[in-house]
Amino acid sequence: MNLPPYKTKMVEPIGLVSRAERIKKLKRAGYNLFFLNSEDVYIDLLTDSGTGAMSENQWAAMMRGDESYAGSSSFRNLQNAVKSILGFPYIIPTHQGRGAEQVFNSVFVKNGMVVPGNAHFDTTRAHIENRGGLPIDCTVSEAYRADFSSPFKGNVDLAKLEKTLKKYKSRVAYILLTVTCNSVGGQPESIKNIKAVSRLAKKYKIGLFFDIARFAENAYFIKAREKKYKNQNIRKIVREMMSYADGALMSAKKDAIVNMGGFIALKNKETYSALAPSAILMEGFLHYGGMSGRDMEALAQGLWEGTDEHYLKHRISQVEYLGENLSKIGIPILKPVGGHAVYIDAGKTLPHIPWNKFPGQALAIAAYIEGGVRSVEIGSVMEGRDQKTHENKKARMELLRLAVPRRVYSQEHLDYVISIFEKIFKIKNRIRGVKFTYEAPMLRHFSSRFTPTP
């Protein structure tokens, strides 16, 4: 039995509105679950971003918040936590990961440049494309085989990466590794692969940066799956991971377990100095960057808690429990189960719905109607349109993501989710695809509206 390494100190009531009400509210939301009111959702698995439960120590730290515009002690506390845990001496706070991406790409991505790496997530890709750049996916091929279980499906295909570096040469802006890799199921990257990518980056004199929204979960998988590291401390593994990068961008709303916040962490002063003017312009002064002092205090404390091995063991086993039990009732999932979410293969679950009728979105709608469970499509809706042809891009996999918030739900809540998908699986042939009634021009999954197809 894997007991939670914490106890409940505060509760928030939740309630299940009737099925008839859920259908009415879904129609009003244009069949886009982002537009549902939170009180109309029973179990919210839309995202693990900013939805975790903060600890008593994080709440206490917020009371120490120094709200000075410049030179605050809260900034220094955050700076010290980043340096101690990640090893980077320079930090630029941002209001969240998206702010870090905007600042970073506004400086380093010019029109016609490319950014290779493992599968870029939606906002990352959008920020690169918004600057006229091209994200190139160099993830290993097994990442796109849902049934194939491999320990490090977030790894980069080294041959493909080197081919990309040779082909584009001076047009490569930087290399980006996302650890864990959200777009392929929260799958980790091994240190062996990170080291190899670092060698290629040095060989071609290109900067290597990490997206570290879920770096602690990646470190836990390294300890569990990479033989050399099985007896190592999580924080020691984290420091080694980061030692191969020139810097990192973080949405702290994930592994630092805060509701808002992010940063850019850097190894050298030259890169810091290049980014600083844009950071001041876009986010705020370099000692707060869109965060209050209390937010920075909670973030600093969250970095320590998020890298605690007992917490990580329970966190990852909880997600694993959900995935394994969905698989037992016949729901096809992406294997192995990732760190922050279970990814249901919606294409295989609903084979009667073609990709351009968006089976992932259809399954998300069904989960809400049947049980008030909110989730998100990771498939051809999120993939968007080709920048040149403007045709819908077909995703490699049509997935539905069930992202589990940190320290929020109990096993009973997860059992309820499993029961809802068991019910859906029995009536899956009745589920219809969807089409757009309004299609947003960018990051369309957030704000488009749909209607079921006949």
Task: State the Cα–Cα distance between residues 340 and 319, nearest whole angstrom.
Answer: 7
Handedness of CA 177, 33, 9, 322 (dihedral sign): negative
- Fill in the amino acid letter for 451: T
Residue 352 among the catalytic residues: no
Cβ contact 342:333 at 8 Å: yes
Residue 255 among the catalytic residues: no
Cβ contact 157:141 at 8 Å: yes
Catalytic residue among 40, 66, 122, 246: 122
Q: Which residues pair with 330 in a beta bridge?
A: none
Cβ contact 358:202 at 8 Å: no
Catalytic residue among 24, 27, 60, 69: 69
Of 16, 49, 36, 34, nearest in space to 403 by CA: 49
Q: Which residues pair with 240 in a beta bridge?
A: none
Catalytic residue among 153, 254, 267, 335: 254
Catalytic residue among 75, 104, 121, 209: 121
Residue 147 among the catalytic residues: no
Residue 445 among the catalytic residues: yes
Cβ contact 342:319 at 8 Å: yes
Residue 122 CB neighbours (<10 A)? 18
Catalytic residue among 66, 137, 211, 295: 211
Q: Quick one: angle between helices 234-243 and 191-203, nearest 10? A: 20
Burial of 88 (0-12, 13-18, 19+ CB in 10 A): buried
Q: Are strands 175-178 and 208-211 parallel, antiparallel or unpaired?
A: parallel
Burial of 1 (0-12, 13-18, 19+ CB in 10 A): exposed
Of 345, 341, 340, nearest in space to 360 by CA: 345
Q: Apex CA 119: angle with CA 116 and CA 124, to 5°?
A: 80
Of 172, 153, 150, nearest in space to 161 by CA: 172
- Phi-psi group of 205: left, alpha or beta (phi > 0 → left; psi -120 to 50 → alpha; rest → beta): left
Residue 205 among the catalytic residues: no
Catalytic residue among 81, 213, 265, 403: 213
Residue 263 among the catalytic residues: no
Owner of token pair 């992932």: 360
Residue 121 among the catalytic residues: yes
- Catalytic site positions: 69, 121-122, 211, 213, 254, 445
